[in-house]
Amino acid sequence: MSASTPRKITYSPAYTIVPTYECFNRCTYCNFRTDPGKSPWLTLTDAEILLKSLQNTGVCEILILSGEVHPSSPLRKAWFDRIYNLCQLALSLGFLPHTNVGPLTFPEMAQLKTVNVSMGLMLEQLTPNLLKTVHKNAPSKLPELRLQQLEFAGELKIPFTTGLLLGIGENSADWWESLEAIAKIHQRWGNIQEVILQPHSPGTQQSWQFPAFDIHLLPEIITKAKEILPTEITIQIPPNLVQTPELLLACLEAGARDLGGIGPKDEVNPDYPHPHYQKLTQILQPAGWELVPRLPIYPQYDDWLSEELQNSVKQWQNTIKVASSIIM
């Protein structure tokens, strides 16, 4: 590759749909949740209107992101059915669903595999110390429960995205332990396509009074993550939480290669809007980076999908190629 050839940094043209903000967990840093019974569930009718408005806009990925209903709640089945039906609806309208709704049972994951091209769940941190602090009232944040999701995804051959939340009370040794656990699971199953390194960024809805993570540490963490993780795992950083152009470029130089789903709103960090494609291009191009769209499934996992899902992916692969050639 010549010195003048741009290096590629990817992103997913995405839109987030939230079945409900209700969540039985009470993570003190959360800027997403509402109490059970305080948030209306998204209806399929409203979702269809929304999704139809997104057709022909370039949006490829529909991220289904939800608050969690307790596993023993009488509403659990209705909640899961709503998620499944939303994925099915998104597929029928030409989108590629990616679901991240908290820990699921093995049968639930198996069912969602039929209507998702990939799925995800943040590992956050493995240290049990957080169960005494920020996760004290968050039963589904048990480290072993979240690790189990990565194992389930491996057994079911589900391309999976996971990641670390940085700055919620852990230390640097905890970062490396969590990354090593992810690497170990990938070495067994080969199912981890991305690892997100997400710095805690205070929002207006959280109850926890704690400063933002020192994002100047991010390049160093990325460098170490590259040493720990298998080379085929892509490291992702959220550009709306790394707002200084110089620092964003330093993260790319350290080894980050993806900017995640970019849409009109970051539902998890609503106080931090996603930067527009044009703004990112203005930062990246002069430094020799080419911002290119990607699908929510990486090409090496295509044959893990059903024939129906593979056909949907192929259609988008052709669309992305055409869009990329126009941009270039």
Contacts with 325 (C-beta within 8 Å, 6 or more apart), sequence order? none
| Tens-place pLDDT, residues 282-303 | 999 999 999 999 999 999 999 9
* Torsional class of 157: left (φ above 0), alpha (ψ -120 to 50), beta (otherwise): left
254 occurs within a structural domain: yes
Q: Assess if residue 211 is contained within a domain.
A: yes
Whole-number Å distance between alpha carbons of 198 and 163? 7
Over residues 270-285, the pLDDT tens digits come to 999 999 999 999 999 9
In a domain? residue 37:
yes
CATH code of 299's domain: 3.20.20.70
Q: CB-based contacts of 263: which residues, under 8 Å, 6+ apart?
A: 13, 14, 15, 16, 59, 63, 274
Digit-coded pLDDT (tens) for 130-179: 999 999 999 999 999 999 999 999 999 999 999 999 999 999 999 999 99
The residue whose two tokens read 């960024």 is 201
Per-residue pLDDT band at 325 (split at 50, 70, 90): very low
CA nearest neighbour of 260 among 326, 166, 197: 197
The owner of tokens 């690892």 is 195
Distance (Å, whole) CA 121 – CA 105: 13
Count of the separate structural domains present in the chain: 1
- Per-residue HEC secondary structure of 258-299 comes to EEEEECCCCCCCCCCCCCCHHHHHHHHHHHCEEEEECCCCCH
Question: What is the largest distance, in Å, between two alpha-carbon atoms of the chain?
Answer: 60
In a domain, 1, yes or no: no
Q: Does 19 score more than 90 pLDDT?
A: yes
pLDDT for 68 beyond 80:
yes
2 within some domain: no
At 40-49, the pLDDT tens digits run 999 999 999 9
Identity of the amino acid at 173: A
The mean predicted confidence, pLDDT, of the chain is: 95
Over range 197-218, report the average pLDDT: 93
- pLDDT-derived band at 1 (thresholds 50, 70, 90) equals very low
- Which residue, 273, 271, 213, is CA-closest to 247? 213
The three-class DSSP label of residue 13 is strand
Q: Is 70 exceeded by the pLDDT of residue 238?
A: yes
d(CA 196, CA 165) in angstroms, rounded, equals 8
Classify residue 61: in a domain, yes or no. Answer: yes
Across 100-120, average pLDDT: 98
Q: Report which of 275, 282, 278 is spatially closest to residue 259, judged by C-alpha positions.
A: 275
pLDDT bucket at 211, cuts 50 / 70 / 90? confident
pLDDT higher than 80, residue 324: no
Helix or strand run (H / E) with residue 177: helix 172-189
* Apex 27 CA angle, 22 and 33, nearest 5: 25
Give residue 237's domain range.
7-327
pLDDT at 122 exceeding the cut of 70: yes
Amino acid identity at 297:
I
User: CA angle 266-157-121, nearest 5°?
Assistant: 25
Answer yes or no: is pLDDT of 321 > 70.
no
- Report how far apart, in Å, the C-alpha atoms of 326 and of each of 283, 292, 321, 322 are: 20, 11, 9, 6
Please tell me the pTM assigned to this model. 0.95
Q: Using alpha carbons, list the distances in angstroms from residue 6 to 2, 3, 100, 287, 288.
A: 9, 8, 32, 9, 5
